[in-house]
Amino acid sequence: MFVMVACRLAVYFGSMIWPIPNENLVPISPLNGQGYFDFLFYLDSLEQYRTESLGDILEKFITFYQRPFEAQFGHIIAGPIFPAIIGLFNYHPENTLPLSVAFLVLDCLWAGLWIKWAANRKYPTIALIGFAVAPNPIWFMLVLSPDLIFAFLVGVFYLSYFRKSQTRKSTLIWIMTLITVLMTRPNGYSILIFVLLDIFWSNYRSGGYKIWRLAFLTVLSLLFAVYLYPYFITEMRKTAVDHIFFGLRASEYAEGIFPMLPGWIDFVLSWLTLIVVKILNFVGLRPSYGATQEALVFIRAISGVVLLPGLIWGIIRAGTRHRMFLLIFFLPIFLGPSQDRYNLPVFPLLFFFGIAFYQYYWNKLINRDN
């Protein structure tokens, strides 16, 4: 815990003196205003919540559903959690520190929860230290966005939902956290779908159905489906964008990148390659999207060396519920650009699954030598 807190404090205060450039070479520091494009959307959403009535906001959704493909609003309004936090801390370019300090505390709490979880499962100290100093979560301490809030909420949900036995308190925690997750980021809907399928499957296996729980989750699914459908349409349109992976566009992979091979082999290998590069993108093993210094690209990629085998281990060896959780979370991200910033909510699971992967094969190697 000491290493985790000390590392974050060092980066936090160090970036005040030496701001860290992002991929667009914008200096990131607790003293600087947020310059990424989506932040303007959250500020605009905050203004809508402040100045418009609930009826006015509902009218925008009604208009969309009357002409869903003719009048495409795109992202009508952000979920209320992050805009509310911006307003609560009165964030603006001349008042950056209150919200920035809150993110520092939140990042420490998030990392502390997972370190305690891993320590209880007897992960080696070196693994805990590795997680404590992993650069990717620390970066989102400096970039004020819904990503860290969403990751913290997913962590609380996971730790309360995946308990060996449920109590009234843990059930209430994961239900309330699930609702908050849905109001933070749209891909929280993946968590809701997982819960609905998981409870349905567990009830089917046990032969007894808790109707009230299934009914509640079904109603919740329908309500948030209506709320998130405009966002879904916009994101699906984004999948048509010809994203670049390792210097090649997605369309180039689809058309075939091995022309020297027979057509069907070229087709299969090219699509398999596209799948692989999207997975590498997701775990952070990728070149810079912009002009990031090579040293920073290397530091960011270090975590990917653990996350990649962790993803493989989680899908193959982690048990049915974890496989379903990871696959449902991963699939909608994989359909798009599969950016590594989306792995933060499951970063701890992938990291410690990766440690389990290395432990398993290291032990096999040692036993073989003996």
SS (HEC) of the chain: CHHHHHHHHHHHHHHHHCCEECCCCCEECCCCCCCCHHHHHHHHHHHHHHHCCHHHHHHHHHHHHHCCCCCCCCCCCCCCHHHHHHHHCCCECCECHHHHHHHHHHHHHHHHHHHHHHHHCCCCHHHHHHHHHCHHHHHHHHCCCHHHHHHHHHHHHHHHHCCCCCCHHHHHHHHHHHHHHHCCCCCHHHHHHHHHHHHHHHHHHHCCCCHHHHHHHHHHHHHHHHHHHHHHHHHHHHCCCCCEECCEEHHHHHHCCCCCCCHHHHHHHHHHHHHHHHHHHHHCCCCCCCCCCHHHHHHHHHHHHHHHHHHHHHHHHCCHHHHHHHHHHHHHHHHCCCCHHHHHHHHHHHHHHHHHHHHHHHHHHHHHHC
Q: Is 220 inside a domain boundary?
A: no
Q: Is 178 inside a domain boundary?
A: no
Give CA separation, 305 vs 67, 159, 282, 298, in Å: 46, 25, 12, 11
Q: Which residues is 248 bridged to in the sheet?
A: 245
Is the separation of the CB atoms in 84 and 146 below 8 Å?
no
Q: Is 37 inside a domain boundary?
A: no
Q: Residue 264 half-sphere exposure, CB side, CA atoms within 13 Å?
A: 0
Q: What is the pLDDT of residue 261?
A: 81
Hunting for tokens 């692989």 — which residue is that? 276
Greatest extent of the chain over all pairs of C-alpha atoms, in Å: 72
Q: Is 299 inside a domain boundary?
A: yes
Q: Is 59 inside a domain boundary?
A: no
Quick one: tokens of 291? 């002009």
Is the separation of the CB atoms in 28 and 21 below 8 Å?
yes
Which residues, other chains included, contact 324 with Cβ-Cβ below 8 Å and sequence gap of 6+?
Answer: 194, 197, 198
CA distance 324 to 319: 9
| Residue 65 backbone dihedrals phi, psi, to 5 degrees | -70, -25
Structural domain including 306 reads: 239-370
Cα 287–129–26 angle (5° rounding)?
35
Q: Residue 144 half-sphere exposure, CB side, CA atoms within 13 Å?
A: 31
Q: Is 282 inside a domain boundary?
A: yes
CA distance 324 to 322: 5
Q: Residue 217 half-sphere exposure, CB side, CA atoms within 13 Å?
A: 21
| Residue 286 backbone dihedrals phi, psi, to 5 degrees | -150, 160
Q: Is 301 inside a domain boundary?
A: yes
Q: What is the pLDDT of residue 73?
A: 52
Each residue's pLDDT tens digit in the chain (370 positions)?
Answer: 888 999 999 999 999 999 888 777 778 889 888 877 788 889 989 999 998 888 888 887 777 777 665 555 567 888 899 999 999 999 988 899 999 999 999 999 999 999 999 999 999 999 999 999 999 899 999 999 999 999 999 999 999 999 888 888 888 999 999 999 999 988 888 898 899 888 888 777 766 666 777 777 788 888 888 777 777 666 666 555 567 777 778 778 778 888 888 878 888 898 898 889 889 988 888 876 666 667 777 877 888 899 999 999 999 888 889 999 999 999 888 877 788 888 999 999 999 999 999 998 888 887 765 5
Total structural domains within the chain: 1
Q: Is 311 inside a domain boundary?
A: yes
| Nearest alpha carbon to residue 80 among 146, 141, 144, 142 | 146
Is the separation of the CB atoms in 184 and 146 below 8 Å?
yes
Is the separation of the CB atoms in 236 and 72 below 8 Å?
no
CA distance 330 to 343: 8
CA distance 159 to 83: 26
